[in-house]
Structure 1
Amino acid sequence: MSKVIGAHAVSVDGYITGRDPRAGRGLGDGTMLFDWYFDGDTPSRVFDGFRLSEPSARVFDALAARVGAVVAGRNTYEDSDGFGGGGPHPAARLFVLSHRPMPKMSERQTLVSTGIQDAIAAARAAAGGKDVGLMGGGVVTEALKAGLVDEVILHQVPILLGHGRPFFQPLPGHVRLRLVEAVPAPGVTHLRYEVER
């Protein structure tokens, strides 16, 4: 069965954006959270234009190859200018979780307004047996609250941003994680955790 995974580049102090993220400004000022996408010599086999270090390419491409659909929150969608009508993954269908109507969605994008369970169910149906990726702190937090997340993957960048949008929002209780893999790479450490049930 496919897994539900939350994967994000994150600062050491837990932020997934810089200051003042919003439509037209992307993920905010000076985050440096994604420099590792372009700082290496190894081209990604999944994402055109990405040139990663060899260890990052190995981890990133293996993860990207698993994803068949993505669920993103409204903030992530708007901060990313609607992903240009596509999605954050070149081959995966995008499901946007929002309780408000969405203007101008493309045929690769689907609005789900009935909650995280329905968004993940719709993404699973479209994923063709592959995994469902989660984008955005709110989406990941809601999926954790609902007990739907199988793995949390942090691409931890050695920077303290001090401000921005945090990856995790308040949870009603503890969520235990088990470290499965830690891969150090230039400018980033890839940490893969399984969610303990």
Structure 2
Amino acid sequence: MAKVLIHATVTLDGYMADPEGGVDWMFDVDATEEDTALVNRVVGEIGAVVGGANRARTIEDGEEPYGGLPGVPVYLMTHTAAEPVVKDGVTYTFVVDDIGSALEMAKVDAGEKTVSLLGGRISRQCLQLGAVDEIQLHVVPILLGAGISLFGGLGQRVNLELIEEAAFGDGVHLRYRVLR
């Protein structure tokens, strides 16, 4: 059965986006060949994605998870129903207010691969449900000072076990198993 993975790039002060939701700062960090290889390995493990939908329930250019690279089914959480969207061969299914259902569908699609969770709210909900198996963080040497926190508001303790660490160039890559 598929593993559920929170996969995120965060600043050293724990933000995954600036206060307006922007992530342009991610492109200010130079990546080494080793950084790229590690990220590509993680992306290669992905069999499905669960994330949040935009307000229009569309898939605009630049909104494709991982730039569309994995080519896997994507489940997007929303409060309003919408028909699935197919873009560049990838099906984006909108799931109304039922993260458990989205996870189950994504796990079926992922098979033996990984379900990647994108976004703070989605990640926190899945942690609160006890549905997360691992957390992969790419920590970049930037302090935003304010922004959207990946884990802010979680409201509970979650114990982790470090299972992989790597540092190339300026960034650090950390992978944890969620202990139950």
The equivalences for 1:1-197 within 5 A come to 1-21=1-21, 27=22, 31-36=24-29, 39=30, 52-74=31-53, 77=54, 82-84=59-61, 86-88=64-66, 89-90=68-69, 91-102=71-82, 105-106=85-86, 108-197=91-180
Cα distance change, pair 175–57 in 1 and its aligned pair in 2 (3 A): same
| Structure with more relative contact order (C-alpha pairs < 8 Å, separation 6 or more) | 2
Aligned-pair RMSD on alpha carbons? 2.3
Task: Tell me which amino acid in the other structure corresponds to 2:171.
Answer: V
In the aligned structure 1, how far is the partner of 2:178 from the partner of 2:141?
24
Cα distance change, pair 68–83 in 1 and its aligned pair in 2 (3 A): farther
2:158 alignment partner, SS class: coil
8 Å Cα contact 2:84/2:92 also seen in 1 = no
8 Å Cα contact 2:76/2:92 also seen in 1 = yes
In the aligned structure 2, how far is the partner of 1:83 from the partner of 1:68?
22
TM-score by length of 1: 0.78
Q: % of aligned pairs identical?
A: 32
In the aligned structure 1, how far is the partner of 2:164 from the partner of 2:60?
30
In the aligned structure 1, how far is the partner of 2:135 from the partner of 2:27?
18
What is the CA deviation profile of residues 92-135 of structure 1, one whole-angstrom value per residue up to 9, with x for unaligned ones? 11110112244883361000114211111111112233110000
| Count of matched residue pairs | 173
1:16 alignment partner, SS class: strand
What is the CA deviation profile of residues 35-94 of structure 1, one whole-angstrom value per residue up to 9, with x for unaligned ones? 44xx3xxxxxxxxxxxx41221231121111101100113xx46xx73537543421111
In the aligned structure 1, how far is the partner of 2:113 from the partner of 2:28?
27
Q: Displaced runs of 4+ in structure 1, greater than 6 A?
A: none
**Structure with the bigger percentage of strand:** 2
What is the CA deviation profile of residues 162-185 of structure 1, one whole-angstrom value per residue up to 9, with x for unaligned ones? 112111132232000111111111
1:100 alignment partner, SS class: coil
Task: Tell me which amino acid in the other structure corresponds to 1:11.
Answer: T
In the aligned structure 2, how far is the partner of 1:194 from the partner of 1:35?
29
